[in-house]
Amino acid sequence: MKADKAVLQLTYACVIETFAEAGNIPLREALDMFYKSQIYQEMCEGISDMHCRSEKYLAEDLLQEFSLNPKHISARHNTYAV
């Protein structure tokens, strides 16, 4: 299922911010890495309804994809140590 473009853009922003924080990397670098990732491709193509997954889940996938060690991942109101 393909998501509405506005929904995808909002999801991208949340995932990139969470990924940057968790990977302890600059936001601009996280943005670049996200748009080069397999996860981004899958979201664009509507594979496995990736856009329905939480930003924490998707950020963890990005950390694994780029072999980064997570520092912590915030999900809106909570902070989870990983």
* pLDDT for position 71: 67
Kindly compute the dihedral angle of the four CA atoms of residues 34, 52, 70, 21, in this order, to the nearest 10 degrees: 70
pLDDT digits (tens, 9 = 90+) for 12-55: 999 999 999 999 999 999 999 999 999 999 988 888 788 889 99
Find tokens 């911010």 and name the residue: 17
CB 62, CB 19: distance < 8 Å: yes
